[in-house]
Amino acid sequence: MGKTVKRVNNRSLASIVLAGALAVSLAACGEDATTDAATAAGGDEMSDLSGSIAGAGASSQEKAMGGWMATFASVAPDVTVTYESIGSGGGREQFLAGGVQFAGSDAALDEEELEAAVERCYGGEAIELPLYISPIAVVYNLPGVDADNINMSAETIAKIFNGDITVWNDPAIAAENEGVELPDTAIVPVNRSDESGTTENFTEYLEAAAGGAWPHEASGDWPISGTQSGNGTSGLIDTVTGAEGSIGYADASRAGDLGTVALKVGEEYVPFSAEAAAAVVDASPRAEGATDKRLVVELDRETTAEGAYPLVLISYSVACSQYEDEAQTEAVKAFLTYVASEEGQEVAEAADVAGSAPISDDLRTEVQAAIDSITTVG
């Protein structure tokens, strides 16, 4: 992959025949979109690595991965990284089948998968790193309301999505928003129609924090039928944008012009922000079974820590503690180190990339230790 402008030479006769009729001019000059990225950072220890590694998995990480892969190319120009956004389940499956060297997953591996990972990792084990932390925004479409945020407790949100609160000027919402003039528009709750980590984290939050107002179990599939919904984040955002009075939940970076809800944490209301999302991760304990290689976080949805925003999605980077091939080991280590670095986390933090929350320095130290433990088998 290109240090300079990459000329696509007509390697196959087929392409010439095809292009001949349709795109003579194109065939001559298909080129990489960015050509100047790979000049900086000479002399860095990573710059003499080479090889190629493939990842696959969660679509939540797709945009951040795009940024990481593009900027990593300037740090280690001879390492090719690809990431296929095929969904968390698919990513874990491909990883365990040996199809890819690392996976992105919105959920930690379960026990069965951990067993399978031993074989896949040549007798080693799976490493799980919480490298992508992203706030989920509760978005609404109320053009007439000029407040920065509408305040809601988890209980109110649960009642809205469960259909117990049906208009925007319901007393329960009004009580939390003194001084905001709420219209009597009907509320249209919108959910994701496909299985997603966003839905899973959102329902997990409602189940834990709404104090029984959410009668359903946490799940990646929306539990209520007969609702407005959208396929994927784009479908959801389009649906919310399409009707006044609708409310939905989506990766915060996609909220765009829609209003967002400030969540009640303790006695105050916290709007989403990268810092607030990072705060809840720091305030949360490790999950049961977590080790110093599997840094799985059990998010504390009921946190009362000041300035924490508990509606957060953590997407893990899953890798092996052992690889067969030295070049692969080094490439995986270099890439994950870059992603975990301050620089890498900043790339993803940019609002126009993924708007994610950077990991804290303490967490970075642990992550780095786990990455350093990756070795080549034998």
Partner 1 sequence: MAVLSPPKVGGRPDQQEPRARRSKGGLAGRLFEYLSVGAGLLILVTLAAVAGFLVLRAWPALTASPEELQEISWFGSSTFLGYVGPLIFGTLLASLLALLIAVPLAVGIALFISHYAPRRLAQSLGYVIDLLAAIPSVVYGLWGALWLAPTLDPAFRWMTDFLGWIPLFEGYQPPAKNVLTASIVLAVMILPIITAVAREVFLQAPRLHEEAALALGATRWEMVRMAVLPFGRSGVISASMLGLGRALGETMAVLMILSPGFLYSFFLLKPGQHQSIAANIASKFPEASGLSVSALIATGLALFVITLAVNMFARWIISRRSEFSGAN
Partner 2 sequence: MTTTTPELTSVTPARTRLPSWSPWAFAAGSLVLAFLVLLVLSSPTPAGVVLLGAVVYAVALTVTSRVVEGERRANDRLATTLVTFAFALALVPLVSLLWTVITEGAARFGPSFLNTNMVGVFGEMTEGGVYHAIMGTLYITLAAAAISVPIGILTAIYLVEYGRGHLARGVTFLVDVMTGIPSIVAGLFAFTLFTLVFGPAYRAGIMGAAALAVLMTPVVIRSVEEMLRLVPNELREAAYALGVPKWLTIIKVVLRTAIAGIVTGVMLAVARVIGETAPLLLTVGIVADVNWDLFDGRMATLPVYAYRQYSQGGIGVERAWAAALTLILIVMLLNIVARLVSRYFSPKASR
Q: 184-195 b/e with 16+ CB inside 10 Å = b?
A: ebebbbbbbbbe
Q: Minimum distance between the CB of residue 155 and partner 1, rounded to whole angstroms?
A: 24
227 near partner 1 (CB under 8 A): yes
- Residue at token pair 């031993």: 118
14 near partner 2 (CB under 8 A): yes
**What is the gyration radius of the CA atoms in the chain, in angstroms?**
23
Stretch in the footprint of partner 2 (CB under 8 A) among 58-66, 112-120, 125-133, 218-226: 58-66
By C-alpha distance, which of 356, 378, 363 is closest to 58?
Answer: 356
* Binding at 14: pick from partner 1, partner 2, none (beta carbon under 5-8 Å per type): partner 2
* Binding at 99: pick from partner 2, partner 1, none (beta carbon under 5-8 Å per type): partner 2
Stretch in the footprint of partner 1 (CB under 8 A) among 6-14, 81-89, 147-155, 315-323: 81-89
What one-character-per-residue DSSP string does 171-239 give? HHHHHHSTT-----PBPEEEEESS--HHHHHHHHHHHHHSTTS--S---SS---SS-EEESHHHHHHHH
225 near partner 1 (CB under 8 A): yes
60 near partner 1 (CB under 8 A): no
Nearest to partner 1 of 61, 284 (CB atom): 61
Q: Which residues contact 22 (CB under 8 A, 6 or more apart)?
A: none
By C-alpha distance, which of 191, 125, 186 is closest to 158?
Answer: 191
- The rounded distance, in Å, linking the Cα atoms of 314 and 132 is 6
Stretch in the footprint of partner 2 (CB under 8 A) among 17-25, 131-139, 153-161, 310-318: 17-25
40 near partner 2 (CB under 8 A): no
Other C-beta atoms closer than 10 Å to the C-beta of 221 total: 13
Stretch in the footprint of partner 1 (CB under 8 A) among 16-24, 238-246, 294-302, 361-369: 238-246
Q: Which residues contact 348 (CB under 8 A, 6 or more apart)?
A: 64, 67, 68, 132, 354, 356, 358
Could you give the 3-state DSSP secondary structure of residue 271? coil
Please pick, from the candidates 64, 65, 93, 135, the single residue that binds partner 1 as defined by CB under 8 A: 93
By C-alpha distance, which of 342, 338, 336, 289 is closest to 316?
Answer: 336
51-57 and 102-105 beta bridge pairing: parallel
Stretch in the footprint of partner 2 (CB under 8 A) among 39-47, 63-71, 145-153, 323-331: 63-71
Task: Show the site string, 204-243: x = touches partner 2 by CB under 8 A, - = not.
Answer: ----------------------------xxx--x------
Residues binding partner 2 (CB under 8 A): 1-2, 8, 11-12, 14-15, 17-19, 21-23, 25-26, 29-34, 37, 59, 62-63, 66-67, 69-70, 73, 82, 84, 86, 93-94, 97-100, 232-234, 237, 254, 256, 350, 352-353
The residues that touch partner 1, with contacts defined as CB under 8 A, are: 59, 86-90, 92-93, 188, 193-196, 219-221, 225-231, 235, 238-239, 242-244, 246
